[in-house]
A and B are shown apart, each in its own frame.
Chain A
Amino acid sequence: MMLEDIAFITKIAVKSSAAVFFAALGEIFTQRSGVLNLGVEGMMLVGALAGVAVGSATQNPVLATLGGMAVGGTLALLHAFFAITLRVNQTLSGLALTILGGGLASFLGRAYIGKPALRMTVWNVPYLSDIPVVGDVFFRQTPLVYAAYLLVPAAAWVLFRSRLGLRIRAVGEDAASADAAGVPVAAIRYGCTVFGGCMAGLGGAYLSLAYTPGWKENMTMGQGWIAIAMVIFATWHPVRAYAGALLFGGLAALQFFFQATGVEVVPIHILRMFPYLATILVLIAVMRLDRTRGSGAGPAALGIPFSREG
């Protein structure tokens, strides 16, 4: 394989990784606060549709992106109400959200099928995009990809260096102690869940505005579930989440590479299975390593509703 082939694959990998990364980052915050939201796939789908809908109404990519985030956040608010206030089974509430979100996107999206859509344009970062190879791979992308770069250190800082991050992690580890220390448990959990929804919506909007512009039924193709798996792979850490998303993007890029070069090493259908199979393999590897290292798996209070009465 030549250098330019590797550059080609890496460029598509970076482009393909953003949606999964956004969704995984959001779910990291949600889970760090102790809430399990399995509705990521549904929130991504409505986010993708909202991106197309707002985009075609306003022709403004910024508003379209914000629209996707707002709708994702609104659906997450529903999950937050059920999971935090009503204290229902979070697995079921999340699945309900995925089914509802998928249905909403499919029902309301019918009008947008096959319509020309707003397309987010590539923006060359001054100076950086002129660096040989690296510049082309990393700095000739759509602005949302740059947002992902910036979010990695920012999220890590908030989670591990700020007072807010300390509170989020405290609530996710031991809600009762955090409550006794005066941390507003419900408010933190609501905030993190809604933030997670906004990020899932952003991931969806990225797909429909920048990655493959336009609305297609079920266009997320399970990326929401892959994002949830990435949270486990990343051991709830933003930096490793980006690494995991790149890994996923690389597998997606291989498909394009083989299509572009006309080389059929494996049938295209088998290639399409790779991201799902690789995600499962990665989960196995992480869980086996965890067992041998004896390190904990995830926030201790994950999925457990909190109330003062117990």
Chain B
Amino acid sequence: MLILEKRHTPLKHRAITTASVALGTALLAGAAVMALYGANPLLAYAAMFKGALGSTFGLTEVVVKAIPLTLTGLAVALCATMLLWNIGCEGQLVMGGIGAAGVVMLFAPVLPSPLLLPAVILCGAACGALWAFVPALLRVWANVSEILTTLLLNYVAIILMEYLYFGPWRDPQGMGFPGTPLFPPAAMLPRLLDTRIHLGLVFAVALAAGLHFLLARSKWGFSVRITGHGPQAAGYAGLNVPRQTLLVMAASGALAGLAGAGEAAAIHYRLQEGFAAGYGYDGIIVACLAALQPRLIPFCALLLGVFIVGGEQLATTMQLPASISRILEGALLFGFLLGENFGRYRIRPARRIKGAA
């Protein structure tokens, strides 16, 4: 048996300990699974990291993935700061894509082109916000767990997107390929030089900085953090917790929706199979690794981006399934929890007390 003793003096270099335990756990677990699959883990890791970090293409792709990951990470972190769990970023991201594509489908011919892109982005964010607002409303009105509702709505959003691109929004010139028509150039988010890195990078970094400032310095941020420490105390202090819940969840959904609008307007240029790539779920891991601190989120998003791009490269170079990145992510989250535990407790084997049989 193991016994946990509370640490009375905080562990030195706690953040570094947590991060190294998390990474170490992830790499060890990944190696074990690859060995089980019959692949050499060292070769596989070499291929992964060379694929992600060893070329300009790999490096830029890491940044490309880090853009939606930063946004969904911020979305999860904002909610979690006040003890709300938004596990529905995937659905909100998809709704952001639907909103973006919807503007193109309905207004592209009539809207003056300089207004089209802003409309695409704003509508994407609004749809994401709406999709998160429903669970917030249910939480406030009927005390329904937002964990379950946000999650169940992910499936609904994905089915809705499939319905649209298989059905009414299907590209008539798509040669039977299920997807919406390509966005017109006026609805495309500008890319950087010759890469797929797009303007969303600026949005993501600015929002991380803005959210850091808001949470750390503003009166509103203070009230969010207070609510996170204890909703009841916040209520006594005269804060309107239900209103705060609605606002924070909607803002969180807007961030995820923005990620979806960015993917639609800058990467895919349409809705199609593979649009829901799991960035919403990854946001949970990004937010945790960053200890819910917005300023750390872009860096954690880059780390996860390395895993994802590495996994994709592994699939092409060694024909191993790209889902190795999912395993690494799950193990990373477990490793993070383990590392945090080290920070809080000293672990030692239990001794039998003398005299006790």
- B152: contacting residue among A78, A226, A307, CB under 8 A: A226
**Binary per-residue interface labels of chain B (131-148) against chain A in the complex, 1 for a CB within 8 Å, 0 otherwise:** 000000010001111011
Residues in B with CB closer than 8 Å to A225 are 148, 151-152
A96 CB within 8 Å of chain B: yes
Closest-CB distance, A31 to chain B (whole angstroms): 12
CA distance in complex: A155, B6 (Å): 38
Stretch at the interface among A137-145, A173-181, A268-276: A268-276
Residues in A with CB closer than 8 Å to B144 are 280, 283-284, 287
**Binary per-residue interface labels of chain A (67-104) against chain B in the complex, 1 for a CB within 8 Å, 0 otherwise:** 00000000000100010011111011101111111111
CA distance in complex: A211, B149 (Å): 26
B323 CB within 8 Å of chain A: yes
Closest-CB distance, A207 to chain B (whole angstroms): 16
Closest-CB distance, A244 to chain B (whole angstroms): 13
Query: Which has the most chain A C-beta neighbours within 10 Å: B2, B144, B320, B338?
Result: B144
Assess the A103–B148 pair: CB atoms within 8 A.
Answer: no
Given A93-B334, A107-B323, residue A280 in contact with residue B153 (CB < 8 A): yes
List B residues 320-345 near A (Cβ within 8 Å).
320-321, 323-331, 333-334, 337-338, 340-341, 345
A264 CB within 8 Å of chain B: no
- B166: contacting residue among A82, A107, A269, CB under 8 A: A269
CA distance in complex: A110, B166 (Å): 26
Assess the B330–A280 pair: CB atoms within 8 A.
Answer: no
Residues in B with CB closer than 8 Å to A228 are 148
A106 CB within 8 Å of chain B: yes
CA distance in complex: A82, B288 (Å): 16
Given A85-B2, A99-B281, A226-B152, residue A107 in contact with residue B334 (CB < 8 A): no
Closest-CB distance, A293 to chain B (whole angstroms): 13
- A88: contacting residue among B37, B167, B340, CB under 8 A: B340
List B residues 97-123 near A (Cβ within 8 Å).
none
Interface size on A, residues (CB 8 A): 49
- A269: contacting residue among B148, B159, B320, CB under 8 A: B159
**Binary per-residue interface labels of chain B (151-162) against chain A in the complex, 1 for a CB within 8 Å, 0 otherwise:** 111111001101
Closest-CB distance, A83 to chain B (whole angstroms): 10
Q: Which residue of B lies closest to A217 (CB)?
A: B323
Given A96-B334, A309-B6, residue A91 in contact with residue B147 (CB < 8 A): yes
B33 CB within 8 Å of chain A: yes
A50 CB within 8 Å of chain B: no
A158 CB within 8 Å of chain B: no
List A residues 207-237 near B (Cβ within 8 Å).
221-222, 225-226, 228-229, 232
CA distance in complex: A106, B325 (Å): 11
* Contact size range, B: 35 or more
Given A276-B153, A283-B144, A284-B142, residue A107 in contact with residue B326 (CB < 8 A): yes
Assess the B326–A106 pair: CB atoms within 8 A.
Answer: yes
Closest-CB distance, B22 to chain A (whole angstroms): 11
Assess the B333–A96 pair: CB atoms within 8 A.
Answer: yes
CA distance in complex: A110, B154 (Å): 24
B36 CB within 8 Å of chain A: yes
Given A110-B321, A291-B143, residue A273 in contact with residue B159 (CB < 8 A): yes
A164 CB within 8 Å of chain B: no
- A107: contacting residue among B87, B324, B333, CB under 8 A: B324
**Binary per-residue interface labels of chain B (17-49) against chain A in the complex, 1 for a CB within 8 Å, 0 otherwise:** 000000000000100010011000000000000
Residues in A with CB closer than 8 Å to B151 are 222, 225
Assess the B160–A269 pair: CB atoms within 8 A.
Answer: yes
A128 CB within 8 Å of chain B: no
Assess the B163–A107 pair: CB atoms within 8 A.
Answer: no
A288 CB within 8 Å of chain B: yes
CA distance in complex: A98, B327 (Å): 10
Given A273-B159, A283-B148, A291-B143, residue A95 in contact with residue B284 (CB < 8 A): yes
- B4: contacting residue among A87, A104, A229, A288, CB under 8 A: A87
Given A89-B337, A92-B337, A272-B159, residue A100 in contact with residue B148 (CB < 8 A): no
Assess the B334–A78 pair: CB atoms within 8 A.
Answer: yes
Residues in A with CB closer than 8 Å to B159 are 269, 272-273
Closest-CB distance, B339 to chain A (whole angstroms): 10
Assess the A104–B163 pair: CB atoms within 8 A.
Answer: no
B285 CB within 8 Å of chain A: yes
Given A267-B163, A291-B143, residue A99 in contact with residue B329 (CB < 8 A): yes
Assess the B142–A287 pair: CB atoms within 8 A.
Answer: yes
Assess the A82–B142 pair: CB atoms within 8 A.
Answer: no
Assess the A273–B156 pair: CB atoms within 8 A.
Answer: yes
CA distance in complex: A86, B340 (Å): 10
List 30 A-B pairs, Cβ < 8 Å: A42-B330, A78-B334, A86-B341, A87-B341, A88-B340, A97-B330, A99-B330, A100-B327, A100-B329, A100-B333, A100-B334, A102-B330, A103-B324, A103-B330, A104-B330, A107-B326, A108-B37, A222-B151, A222-B154, A267-B163, A269-B163, A273-B160, A276-B156, A277-B156, A279-B152, A280-B144, A280-B149, A280-B153, A283-B149, A287-B144
A residues lining the B interface (CB < 8 Å): 38, 42, 78, 82, 85-89, 91-93, 95-104, 106-108, 110, 221-222, 225-226, 228-229, 232, 267, 269-270, 272-273, 276-277, 279-280, 283-284, 287-288, 291, 307, 309
Shortest Cβ-Cβ A-B pairs, 3 listed: A100-B330, A103-B326, A269-B163
B residues lining the A interface (CB < 8 Å): 2, 4, 6, 29, 33, 36-37, 85, 87, 138, 142-145, 147-149, 151-156, 159-160, 162-163, 166-167, 281, 284-285, 288, 320-321, 323-331, 333-334, 337-338, 340-341, 345
